[in-house]
Amino acid sequence: MATAFAYAPAPERVRPHLRERYGLFIDGKWVSPKSERYMETINPADETKIAEVAYGDAEDVDRAVRAARKGFERWSKLTAADRAKYIYRIARAITERSRELAVLESLDGGKPIRESRDFDIPTSAAHFFYYAGWADKLEWAVRAGHVAKPIGVCGQIVPWNFPLLMAAWKLAPALACGNTVVLKPAETTPLTALALAQIIAEADIPPGVVNVVTGDGSTGAALVDHDGVDKIAFTGSTDVGKIIQRRIAGTGKRLTLELGGKAANVVFEDAPLDQAIEGIVQGIYFNQGHVCCAGSRLLVEESVHDDIVARLTDRIQTLRLGDPLDKNTDIGAINSLPQLEKIRELVSSGIEQGATFVQAECELPKRGYFFPASFFTNVQTSHRIAREEIFGPVLAIITFRTPDEAIEKANNTPYGLSAGVWTAEGSKNMWIAQHLRAGVVWCNTFNKFDPSSPFGGYKESGFGREGGVHGLHEYLALA
Ligand code: NAP
Ligand code: MG
């Protein structure tokens, strides 16, 4: 019997279309890598191979950059309304294929399907919708008297924690401004970028406008070094960001860097504590803590420290760790074995340096890379766990007595990407936010994103902004 609503299977039951082997997407076509080398991408939740992916070397990067240059001649001359039409097509196709993309993202990277379904994929589509809307309004993005022109060929390098979303953050504004792109996805999570390449092919976007070259760090380095690239947009670790900055110095290439973070999440005694606990949990355990803007340093006012620690001890016990494709899972798999080892090493250092370790008790799956939700108390600001990015589900709790001390401790970091403040007092919220040296400050919430809102860092968290009108400026040359 016909029903009013079409049956839509739950995302975890959707089987994504997978090829055994993926080539490079260059000049609108799938091509083999010159070296004929392929790498495996695995499912970190069970360590099985998902597919083989082309290893692109400097020669392949060169082919892609040349295709992007040719594509630029055509793309930059299209009317803005035509460019918008193509970008809207990408946005719609992501929405139409959102379930498949969500499964693919969780399969390849280990994140809970609830997050890829409700956050990564819809937010990726939202970025394309948002910037498609800007394509024919660029004169409003620049100061009167200036003409907004594209920069040219953009090399874009993305990490593994939000693979499709980071690609969307970069591609959407670049394309809206009339640039063409060579995208380098991370080695462990190439599949959604490759699915996006297929979407782009099916959307009839002119050849060479978007090229996707998979590979490892040296593929990214070849892109950075290529003479035909006019701009590099990089999201990843601070160490690699510094290498790129040095290599680009003096070349005239434009550069934006979105790097690491060690955000302070500051909780005052007058905060609504039930809400704050949820914000703390969201802030550090979202995506297993593989989040550049994670609230990984919890600064709590001394008077509520014991209460918060007791509540958090109970709350982490309720988080379900396991199969990323189960919609009830809260904590999925750690993205790779090296990342798991890095988390373990930093946790050992925290224990050795004298902090107290608390971890949710749960059974770990027999295979795959997993780490239960954890936190440290008795943390000194000098401890490595308080200074270095762990990039895992591990929180460092530090106390403060006065708002001034909270600011001083929050800003005592080489990073400056994000921060959170929890207090019932509006003026205190504003005062703290003004004094935190962080690109984004969330008040009584955490990890909220919108395409219209700029995101980016200070200090060793990088420079340049993604999102909003600010994000357009990074892809425009003014005349
Ligand atoms: P990563 O090691 O720096 O890698 C990022 C990307 O750069 C990957 O595609 C990587 O390729 C490539 N790469 C590696 N070495 C390179 C080189 N010498 N030249 C050019 N490209 C190179 O970082 P990750 O471990 O993937 O990602 C985690 C980091 O990203 C964290 O520090 C996190 O805070 C940061 N992040 C920042 C933001 C932000 O918006 N600020 C957002 C998300 C993540 P392979 O992976 O294939 O080696
Ligand atoms: Mg993988």
Assign 10 a pLDDT band (cuts: 50, 70, 90). Answer: low
Share above pLDDT 90 across residues of the chain, in percent, rounded to a whole number: 95
CATH code of the domain containing 421: 3.40.309.10
Integer Cα distance of 9 and 40 in angstroms = 29
Write down the pLDDT at residue 7: 52
- What's the CA-to-centroid distance between 353 and ligand 2, angstroms? 33
Q: For residues 102 and 120, is the Cβ–Cβ distance under 8 A?
A: yes
Assign 4 a pLDDT band (cuts: 50, 70, 90). Answer: very low
Question: Pocket around ligand 1: residues whose beta carbon is below 6 Å from it?
Answer: 157-161, 184, 186-187, 216-217, 220-221, 224, 235-237, 240, 243-244, 258-261, 292, 389, 391, 417, 457, 461-462
Ligand at minimal distance from the CA of 463 is 1
Q: What is the mean pLDDT of the chain?
A: 96
The CA distances from residue 313 to 190, 273, 357, 446, in Å, are 36, 14, 11, 20
Q: What is the H or E stretch that residue 182 is in?
A: strand 180-184
Please report whether residue 456 resides in a domain: no
Judge if 50 and 166 occupy the same domain.
Answer: yes
| Mean pLDDT calculated for residue range 450-473 | 97
Q: Tell whether the model's pLDDT for residue 65 goes beyond 50.
A: yes
Q: Tell whether the model's pLDDT for residue 446 goes beyond 60.
A: yes
Using the atom order of ligand 1, give the atom closest to the CA of residue 339: 25
Pocket test for ligand 1, best of 57, 191, 213, 237 (most atoms within 8 A of CB): 237
Q: CA nearest 461: which of 222, 267, 291, 226? A: 291
Burial class (CB in 10 A: 0-12, 13-18, 19+), 80: middle
Which domain, by its residues, includes 393?
A: 264-443
Q: Tell whether the model's pLDDT for residue 179 goes beyond 70.
A: yes
Please report whether residue 376 resides in a domain: yes
Judge if 178 and 324 occupy the same domain.
Answer: no
Q: Tell whether the model's pLDDT for residue 13 goes beyond 80.
A: no
Q: For residues 453 and 127, is the Cβ–Cβ distance under 8 A?
A: no
Judge if 181 and 115 occupy the same domain.
Answer: yes
Judge if 25 and 133 occupy the same domain.
Answer: yes
Judge if 402 and 419 occupy the same domain.
Answer: yes
Residue 154 annotated to the active site:
no
Q: What is the end-to-end Cα distance of the chain in Å, rounded?
A: 63
Encode pLDDT of 103-118 as tens digits: 999 999 999 999 999 9
Using the atom order of ligand 1, give the atom closest to the CA of residue 187: 47
Write down the pLDDT at residue 478: 83
- What's the CA-to-centroid distance between 70 and ligand 1, angstroms? 28
Ligand at minimal distance from the CA of 337 is 2
Assign 16 a pLDDT band (cuts: 50, 70, 90). Answer: confident
Q: Which phi and psi angles does 154 have, rounded to 5°? A: -110, 130
Using the atom order of ligand 1, give the atom closest to the CA of residue 240: 3
Q: Tell whether the model's pLDDT for residue 3 goes beyond 50.
A: no
Judge if 186 and 307 occupy the same domain.
Answer: no
Write down the pLDDT at residue 172: 98
Judge if 47 and 150 occupy the same domain.
Answer: yes
Please report whether residue 162 resides in a domain: yes
Judge if 408 and 308 occupy the same domain.
Answer: yes
Judge if 220 and 295 occupy the same domain.
Answer: no
Write down the pLDDT at residue 479: 77
Q: Looking at per-residue confidence, does 478 or 104 come out higher?
A: 104
- What's the CA-to-centroid distance between 236 and ligand 1, angstroms? 3
Q: For residues 396 and 386, is the Cβ–Cβ distance under 8 A?
A: yes
State how many domains the chain has.
Answer: 2
Chain centre distance of CA 325: 20
Please report whether residue 208 resides in a domain: yes
Judge if 234 and 319 occupy the same domain.
Answer: no
Residue 385 is which amino acid?
Answer: I
The CA distances from residue 473 to 142, 241, 466, in Å, are 8, 20, 9
- What's the CA-to-centroid distance between 218 and ligand 1, angstroms? 12
Judge if 233 and 274 occupy the same domain.
Answer: no
Pairing of strands 38-43, 418-422: unpaired
Please report whether residue 3 resides in a domain: no
- The one catalytic residue in 100, 154, 187, 292 is 292
Q: What is the pTM of this model?
A: 0.96
Please report whether residue 360 resides in a domain: yes
Q: Facing residues of 38 across strands?
A: 54
Using the atom order of ligand 1, give the atom closest to the CA of residue 185: 9
Please report whether residue 25 resides in a domain: yes
Q: Tell whether the model's pLDDT for residue 295 goes beyond 70.
A: yes
Q: Tell whether the model's pLDDT for residue 1 goes beyond 50.
A: no
Q: For residues 175 and 182, is the Cβ–Cβ distance under 8 A?
A: no
Encode pLDDT of 192-233 as tens digits: 999 999 999 999 999 999 999 999 999 999 999 999 999 999
Encode pLDDT of 343-402 as tens digits: 999 999 999 999 999 999 999 999 999 999 999 999 999 999 999 999 999 999 999 999
Residue 292 annotated to the active site:
yes
Helical residues (DSSP H) of 318-454, grouped into ranges: 337-352, 384-387, 403-411, 426-435
CATH code of the domain containing 57: 3.40.605.10
Residue 107 is which amino acid?
Answer: L
Please report whether residue 359 resides in a domain: yes
Encode pLDDT of 115-157 as tens digits: 999 999 999 999 999 999 999 999 999 988 889 999 999 999 9
Q: For residues 223 and 184, is the Cβ–Cβ distance under 8 A?
A: yes
Pocket test for ligand 1, best of 53, 57, 124, 157 (most atoms within 8 A of CB): 157
- Residue 5's contacts (CB-CB under 8 Å, 6 or more residues apart) are none
Judge if 217 and 185 occupy the same domain.
Answer: yes
Integer Cα distance of 388 and 353 in angstroms = 14
Q: Facing residues of 356 across strands?
A: 377
